[in-house]
């Protein structure tokens, strides 16, 4: 079945499969949101069903929670778990310092809370997500609905003094209505093209009234697992100070595609 995947989906699956090596029985695991994270949740579900892996997951969105339950991964809230051993999540972009842009799926607020409540954050991605400078992917900024147009104008005014190439901002839509996050907020996407100083921008954006959180994850990610369609996987670990290039043996198994228990 894995041979039936597109090259990009196979690379995502390879990264997701390798990231599960960070998970051991007894752990509390943050479960990310997005297409790559969904592969990881499925892999963990297979390990729970086939290998007796004993974990609890803390999902970062309602759709991740639904998927985890479907494949057999027990879920609890962050308040119940209190602190996590590891969070595994995808990213829309990452740079050489493992700074990230996240939030393309609209779950950036819960993703950042869960990631920062973990001993480690591991990012899983295909090679196309690596960039020299963040900003090609639109930067999501979560805002409260009240006065969002004023917040948007304040953000645009603030960008004039930031080291960015573009300053266009758009309200994220869901068909003809604003996209609403799990927390009931809106998202303004900033089309910056290049961010010269991500740390400064992250701090400044969060000072604007109406802004809840932004999609820059600075000094949060500890390791990144990069999957390739040929089965090769790169692991870069900031804490260990190592970069490894491995070949992952992936059995052409149907298990990962099977539905979990109801």
36 is annotated as contributing to ligand binding: yes
Quote the pLDDT of residue 250.
Answer: 64
Q: Is 102 annotated as a binding residue?
A: yes
CB 49 within 8 A of CB 72: yes
Q: How far apart are CA 110 and CA 224, in angstroms?
A: 20
Counting beta carbons within 10 angstroms of the beta carbon of residue 48, is it exposed (0 to 12), middle (13 to 18) or buried (19 or more)? buried
112 is in an annotated binding site: no
Outline which parts of the chain fall under CATH 3.30.70.260: 139-214
| Residue 242 pLDDT | 65
Does the annotation list 229 as a binding residue?
Answer: no
Cα 176 from chain centroid (whole Å): 26
What integer pLDDT is reported at residue 129 of this predicted model? 97
How far apart (Å, rounded) are the C-alpha atoms in residues 175 and 112? 26
Closest CA to 141 of 130, 152, 129: 152
Q: Where in the chain is the domain with CATH 3.40.50.1360?
A: 2-130+219-257
Query: Is 111 known to be catalytic?
Result: yes
pTM recorded for the entire structure: 0.93
Distance CA 103, CA 196 (A): 19
Active-site entry in 111, 142, 213, 234 = 111
Annotated binding residue 196: no
Q: How far apart are CA 46 and CA 48, in angstroms?
A: 5
Establish whether 92 is an annotated binding residue.
yes
pLDDT at 4: 84
Superfamily per CATH, domain 139-214 = ACT domain (3.30.70.260)
Total number of residues shown for the chain: 262
Q: Is 103 annotated as a binding residue?
A: yes
The CATH fold of domain 2-130+219-257: Rossmann fold (3.40.50)
pLDDT, one tens digit for every residue, the chain (262 residues): 566 889 999 999 999 999 999 999 999 999 999 999 999 999 999 999 999 999 999 999 999 999 999 999 999 999 999 999 999 999 999 999 999 999 999 999 999 999 999 999 999 999 999 999 999 999 999 999 999 999 999 999 999 999 999 999 999 999 999 999 999 999 999 999 999 999 999 999 999 999 999 999 999 999 999 999 999 999 999 887 767 787 877 655 545 554 443 3
Which pLDDT does position 246 carry in this prediction?
A: 79
pLDDT of residue 240: 76
Tell me: is residue 129 an annotated ligand-binding position: yes
């Amino acid at each position: 079945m894995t041979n039936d995947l597109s090259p990009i989906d196979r690379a995502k699956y390879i990264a997701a499969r390798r990231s599960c090596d960070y998970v051991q029985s007894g752990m509390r695991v943050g479960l990310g949101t997005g297409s790559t994270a969904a592969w990881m949740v499925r892999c963990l579900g297979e390990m729970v069903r086939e290998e007796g892996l004993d974990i609890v997951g803390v999902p970062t969105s309602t759709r991740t929670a639904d998927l985890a339950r479907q494949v057999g991964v027990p879920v609890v809230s962050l308040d119940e778990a209190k602190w996590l051993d590891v969070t595994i999540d995808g990213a829309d972009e990452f740079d050489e310092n493992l700074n990230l842009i996240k939030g393309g799926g609209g779950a950036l607020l819960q993703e950042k809370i869960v990631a920062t409540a973990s001993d480690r954050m591991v990012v899983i991605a295909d090679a196309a997500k690596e960039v020299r400078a963040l900003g090609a992917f639109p930067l999501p900024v979560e805002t409260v609905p009240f006065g969002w147009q004023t917040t948007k104008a304040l953000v645009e005014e603030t960008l004039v003094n930031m080291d960015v190439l573009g300053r266009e901002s758009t309200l994220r839509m869901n068909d003809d209505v604003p996209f609403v996050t799990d927390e009931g907020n809106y998202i303004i996407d900033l089309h910056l093209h290049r961010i010269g100083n991500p740390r400064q921008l992250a701090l400044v954006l969060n000072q604007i009234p109406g802004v809840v959180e932004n999609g820059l994850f600075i000094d949060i990610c500890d390791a990144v697992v990069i999957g390739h369609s040929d089965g090769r996987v790169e692991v870069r670990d900031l804490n260990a100070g190592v970069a490894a290039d491995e070949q992952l043996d992936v059995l052409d198994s149907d298990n990962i595609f099977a539905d979990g228990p109801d």
